[in-house]
Amino acid sequence: MSKGFLHHIELYFSNLKRSIDFWGWFLDELGYEPFQEWESGRSWRMGEMYMVFVQAETRFLDIPYHRGRLGLYHLAFHAASRQQVDEIARKLRGRGVTILYANKHPFAGGKDQYAVYLEDPDRMKVELVAP
């Protein structure tokens, strides 16, 4: 593995089951594979990099996630094509997920960026960008 590549990302969620229901299909669409599973977490892998999803402890749930606070603002994933962005957007709508910046979709990031923007169940911003 090359120096500097991400090894893994670990995220904590308010409701692990709800987040797994959301993220599982999304990561599957992008080519990730289930990797690990335990009582309070699950992970998906693509190549050498993996993403870990963990249930936050009850004592830490009093302040909900907000991307405007310190810490993670959003996660952006590469799409294979514009067609994949369109297909994911269609599936998101079918799942009742709100497309962010719908009035500017698919160019909400500017005329040179073809993408879909959404929020996960904890309102973490997610972006899927075509090459």
Give the tens place of pLDDT for each residue, 69-110. Answer: 989 999 999 999 999 999 999 999 999 999 999 999 999 999
Regarding predicted confidence, which is higher, 73 or 2?
A: 73
CATH number of the structural domain 73-131: 3.10.180.10
Say whether pLDDT at 1 is over 70. no
Domain ranges of the chain: 1-60, 73-131
Instruction: Find, among 75, 83, 84, 95, the residue nearest to 25 by Cα.
Output: 95
pLDDT at 16: 97
pLDDT given for residue 129 in this prediction? 97
> How sure is the predictor about 128, in pLDDT bands with cuts at 50, 70 and 90?
very high
Query: How much is the pLDDT for 9?
Result: 97
Pairing between strand 74-78 and 115-119?
unpaired
The answer to whether 1-60 and 73-131 have equal CATH topology is: yes
Largest CA distance in the chain: 44
- Domain 1-60 sits in CATH at 3.10.180.10
Q: Please give the model's pTM, rounded to 2 decimal places.
A: 0.91
Express each pLDDT in 15-40 by its tens digit: 999 999 999 999 999 999 999 999 99
DSSP state of 111: T
